């Protein structure tokens, strides 16, 4: 019986020591987790820069407005829905309005055509990140829009593929491109 008591005391003593070491090191674990979270955040931002530099065919250091690209990353692939205003479906003008509200803290409302009327015209060669691009796809009125990014690329809610990035030099968009605009 003495041997049993002695072995169980050793077991509980070892358990107690392990518990105390674990408990006393909680603070350092939290510090490590905090540090890892920051690293993950930096890692995620770098991942976003790398991803969008590749999609836009620019150098990573050109991806400066991380708020914009983080926002786009959350919305890529969201389905198109006429009149839609959220991630269950969104149309082109509401998507542009949502970007402006969340990234630039500016209010845009209305259809593509009415938003165009709120803009100063910008030539295609002078477009800057955040400018708006407008298209006349359905006849003579503006019927589609997007937000210009860089290197002739723009983000928009396409009727067939939802939120995506396209190139103004693609034949389809070249054919229907109308004008660029900058909010007054």
State the catalytic residues: 92, 144, 156
CA distance 146 to 94: 10
Residue 50 in tokens? 């790398």
CA distance 105 to 132: 15
Whose structure tokens read 């389809």? 172
Query: Would you state the torsion angle of the CA atoms of residues 107, 113, 119, 123, taken in this order, to the nearest 10 degrees?
Result: 140
Whose structure tokens read 């109308």? 178
């Amino acid at each position: 019986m003495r041997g049993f008591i002695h072995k169980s005391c050793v077991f509980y003593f070892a358990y107690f020591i392990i518990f105390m070491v674990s408990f006393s090191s909680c603070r350092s674990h939290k510090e490590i987790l905090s540090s890892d979270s920051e690293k993950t955040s930096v890692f995620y931002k770098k991942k976003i820069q790398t991803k969008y530099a590749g999609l836009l065919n620019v150098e990573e250091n050109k991806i400066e407005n991380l708020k914009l690209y983080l926002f786009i990353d959350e919305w890529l692939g969201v389905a198109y829905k006429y009149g839609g205003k959220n991630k269950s479906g969104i149309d082109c003008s509401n998507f542009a309005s949502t970007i402006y509200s969340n990234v630039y803290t500016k209010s845009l409302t209305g259809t593509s055509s009415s938003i165009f009327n709120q803009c100063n015209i910008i030539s295609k060669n002078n477009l800057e990140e955040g400018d708006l691009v407008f298209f006349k796809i359905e006849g003579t009125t503006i019927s589609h829009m997007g937000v210009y990014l860089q290197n002739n690329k723009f983000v928009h809610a396409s009727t067939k593929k939802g939120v995506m990035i396209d190139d103004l030099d693609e034949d389809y968009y070249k054919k229907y491109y109308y004008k660029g605009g900058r909010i007054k």
